Chain A
Amino acid sequence: MGRARKGVAPVRDVLANGAVVTVAETRAIPAVAISAVVQAGSVFDPDGLPGLAHFVSRTMDRGTRTRDADAIALDLDSRGVSLSVAINRHVLSLTCQCLTDDFEPTLALVADLLVHASHPDDHVVKRRSEIVTAIQQDEDNPATMANEGLLRLLYPGHPYGRRPRGSVGDVEAMTPDMIRRFHRDHVTPGGCSLVVVGDVQAPAAVAAASRALSSWVAAPPVAPRLPAVVEARERQRLIVPVPGTPQADIAYGFTTILRSDPTYYACWVMEVILGRYALGGRLGDRIREREGLAYYVFSGLDANVVPGPLAIRAGVNAANVERAVAAIDEELTRFAADGPTEQEVEDTKRYLIGSLPRTLETNAKIAHFLQTAEFFGLGLDYDQRMADHLRGVTREDVHEAARRWLDPSRAAVVIAGACEA
């Protein structure tokens, strides 16, 4: 069992079945956040069935060997617990918050769902119509369509390019057996990280987690088969019509780096200067503050276990789309040519280092931070070391990252809205 010395100071233990348990004590409110993550995100969707992991997340909390949907519903609602089951590309997560007094029964329920979820046939039918409705809502939403279009252009033939919920046709082809098989293959203790943060005693919480999960036995997790990501050599453009919407959404981006890349911190600082510092960074200064083109413009960098996307997003009136895209092109070109100022780099580093206490302001935020640290192997004391990584970034490092990645001639540009394809 390891323990970091100060800061969040989590306790971490690995159970005999491979499940990792991490606990951090806080005392602000008499409540506990629970986060269970398994390696069952959308990259594990079988070929031809995108959306299966998402479907699993919708039925996972609707029955186990010993509890039916009504019993689970009453367990949660009578304690005021709102359980969220969600997926991203790599993991499926169960997260909730409960009062301290309800910690052990709530943890037992979460464990029961991981180990014994039954995905009942009748709930597969009910949840299917909700998913179909959600997919249709996505298709009416220019922001979602622009984002999905961007990933499709950046990741052809790669799971990152697929729709996380699949299409209506995909979802209609999924059977209860497929859902249960996916759960059996991918929801396994060897791929599980359980994080508990809140008003608990760490040794007692680790012991409770051990009791809840130790009987869980399953085959080791299957590593995803991911094709190599191919960097674009030329500019691509896609228009996705979404009729009737007054505002168009722009998604503009590149494939970039792994989270483990040594230039990660320089890229992070670069991306924050570009599109996040204060109100949207340099892009916000230009497109929102000076030109008044958009209410929102921002960037995001998702460096991951595959070279993740750097995406720029903006919502603009259809008449202003070309002007906004040209402004993004110009800002990227200028950043790559001239680099950042010393002041921008120093201010951004101070901002990111100084933001850490806010990042750790609530139990749920600490749990998310610890899950990220576990997923990328950043260490139990990452909250203590992150600042040193950032302090080491120089202006030249950031300029080099800008030169390397901000090249409009290789950008993928997607426009979704009431426009003609």
Chain B
Amino acid sequence: MARSNPIDGVREHVLANGLKVLIREEHTAPLASVWCWYRVGSRDESPGLTGVSHWCEHMNFKGTTNIPRDQVKGIIEPFGGFWNGYTWIDMTTYVETASAEALDRMLFIEAERMSGCLYHPDDVASERTVIISELEGGENDPDQLLDQHVVETALTTHPYRHPTIGRIADLRSMSRDDLHSHYRSHYLPNNATLVVVGDVDEADVLARVHRYFDAIPNGALPVASRASEPEQRGERRVAVSREGATSYLKVAYHAPAVTEPDFFPILVLDAVLTGAKGLSLWASFRTPPPQRTARLYRALVDGGVASSVQGLLVATADPFLYILSVTVNAGVSLAAAEARLLGELDHVRAGEVREEDVVVARNQLRTRLVFDADSVTNLGHQLGYFDTVADWRLLGELLPRIEAVTLADVRRVAAARLEPQRRTVGWFEPLTGVSERPA
């Protein structure tokens, strides 16, 4: 029978060293997915060391005390598996999904990663240029380039303003000891959540987890930044220019943390404006939102001024941003696109949202929650993600909280949160005269 609640059957255990373990048996495919989440991301970086968390993530694929460097390649692949990791503002996470027979191997890898990564100076050197290449590849995309400028302009104080990839000067100067010290101080069992979902037996998983993780000592965690973003009292603007042919527009507003009461009304508001997405960065990449009837799609794309409009509201531990992104149609000015976007938002702020819009938005979000639980990999992600930014039990609360959002809630947060003095407007303005290209 198809399941209805994503946290049905999830069991939590906490080891003596503080490692939280979430296990969910799911016997629909002969697969298991193991995720290990650390509460360390770019928010935990000091000036001069931006990008250190992400660089550590790269270093944690380069051999450990018991996994020699030349045996990293092929450690999971013969089980039909893949492994990967990502770093963002609140977290660093690692995943393996493979045949359920590989469970022991996957837990071994994560235990080794928690305690025994090597940080060999030669690997630090070669990875420095790989990461700089990753940064430059990202900057090839004007939309990403503008995004970073908008985030840094909208946030003046909170460390969410640092780019997760890091600043180029920091990437050039950071040392092996900087990296290793960051690794040692954050990769502790009492700073992690281990998630196992799949064709496994809970008691067997737990026994293996004890065997691999019990001996890893816990430790004192670094004091987290307490910086909070001061209230914005006037519109901010930022412009970026480079050769190219296409203009991009972004408008950012301050968003609440996932645990704040306003989060769910804004989530519904975003679905009204741009269509419903998944509730995590990972899930929101997977499929585009249904948005043909969404307010901003109608105004901008059907209105002929843009080829795409997207809204991004992500569940985060501290207040981050709600960012609207517009790709401006050829032949349309940035000023015209901005006027159309802000004009439509003014109508929404004035209360022009209908009950039927909210009904459609809630229904879309409800549907996305079903789609987002469609594999052991995705289910494991969602459990670990929510535990890292809040509590995994919140995943089971999403549906009732979305369904509790009323038209009045949506109108209230639109009026309060989309105020002109609390927005940051970003333009990517292509330099003209260089759009000639070979046929």
> B371 touching A357 by the CB < 8 A rule?
no
Bound together, the chains give a CA A399 to CA B365 distance in angstroms of 51
- Bits for B226-243, please: 1 = Cβ < 8 Å to A, else 0: 000000000000000011
> A79 touching B2 by the CB < 8 A rule?
no
Interface locus among B9-17, B39-47, B136-144, B316-324? B136-144
A133 in contact with B327 given A139-B437, A246-B139 (CB within 8 Å): yes
A376 at the binding interface (Cβ < 8 Å): no
Q: Which residues of A contact B (CB under 8 A)?
A: 26-31, 69-70, 72-74, 76-84, 97-100, 126, 129-130, 132-134, 136-137, 139-143, 167, 199, 240-241, 243-247, 277-279, 285, 288-296, 315-317, 347, 350-358, 360-364, 421
Nearest B residue to A61 by beta-carbon distance? Answer: B292
- Bits for B57-77, please: 1 = Cβ < 8 Å to A, else 0: 000010000000000111001
> B438 touching A240 by the CB < 8 A rule?
yes
> A74 touching B74 by the CB < 8 A rule?
no
Bound together, the chains give a CA A316 to CA B79 distance in angstroms of 32
Interface locus among B300-308, B341-349, B414-422? B300-308
> A243 touching B243 by the CB < 8 A rule?
yes
Name the A residues within 8 Å of B435 (CB-CB).
136, 139
Nearest-Cβ distance from residue A82 to partner chain B, whole angstroms:
4
> A247 touching B139 by the CB < 8 A rule?
yes
> B133 touching A294 by the CB < 8 A rule?
yes
> B82 touching A292 by the CB < 8 A rule?
no
Bound together, the chains give a CA A130 to CA B363 distance in angstroms of 28
A29 in contact with B77 given A80-B364, A82-B287 (CB within 8 Å): no
Name the B residues within 8 Å of A80 (CB-CB).
276, 290, 363-368
A137 in contact with B74 given A130-B301, A350-B80 (CB within 8 Å): no
B217 at the binding interface (Cβ < 8 Å): no
Name the B residues within 8 Å of A363 (CB-CB).
374
Name the A residues within 8 Å of B291 (CB-CB).
77, 82
> B377 touching A97 by the CB < 8 A rule?
no
Q: How many residues of B contact A (CB 8 A)?
A: 84
Name the A residues within 8 Å of B131 (CB-CB).
295
> B129 touching A293 by the CB < 8 A rule?
yes
Bound together, the chains give a CA A110 to CA B129 distance in angstroms of 48
Name the A residues within 8 Å of B368 (CB-CB).
80
> A317 touching B136 by the CB < 8 A rule?
yes
Bound together, the chains give a CA A199 to CA B371 distance in angstroms of 12
Name the B residues within 8 Å of A27 (CB-CB).
1-2, 28
Name the A residues within 8 Å of B308 (CB-CB).
130
> B243 touching A288 by the CB < 8 A rule?
no
> B246 touching A140 by the CB < 8 A rule?
yes
Name the A residues within 8 Å of B289 (CB-CB).
82
**A-B contacts, 8 listed (Cβ < 8 Å):** A70-B293, A79-B367, A133-B327, A139-B435, A140-B243, A289-B126, A357-B29, A421-B438
Which of A132, A316, A361 touches B29 (beta carbons < 8 Å)?
Answer: A361
Nearest-Cβ distance from residue A144 to partner chain B, whole angstroms:
11
Give B411-439 interface residues, CB cut-off 8 Å to A: 430-431, 434-435, 437-439
> A137 touching B246 by the CB < 8 A rule?
yes
Name the B residues within 8 Å of A29 (CB-CB).
2-3, 370-371, 373-374
Bound together, the chains give a CA A34 to CA B291 distance in angstroms of 19
B78 at the binding interface (Cβ < 8 Å): yes
Nearest-Cβ distance from residue B399 to partner chain A, whole angstroms:
13
Name the A residues within 8 Å of B30 (CB-CB).
357
B128 at the binding interface (Cβ < 8 Å): yes
> B292 touching A77 by the CB < 8 A rule?
yes
Bound together, the chains give a CA A364 to CA B378 distance in angstroms of 14
A77 in contact with B275 given A31-B371, A82-B289 (CB within 8 Å): yes
> A354 touching B244 by the CB < 8 A rule?
no
Nearest B residue to A33 by beta-carbon distance? Answer: B374
Nearest B residue to A239 by beta-carbon distance? Answer: B438
A246 in contact with B329 given A347-B77, A358-B97, A361-B376 (CB within 8 Å): no
Nearest B residue to A82 by beta-carbon distance? Answer: B290
Name the B residues within 8 Å of A240 (CB-CB).
437-438
Nearest A residue to B364 by beta-carbon distance? Answer: A80
Which of B81, B129, B307, B371 touches A292 (beta carbons < 8 Å)?
Answer: B129
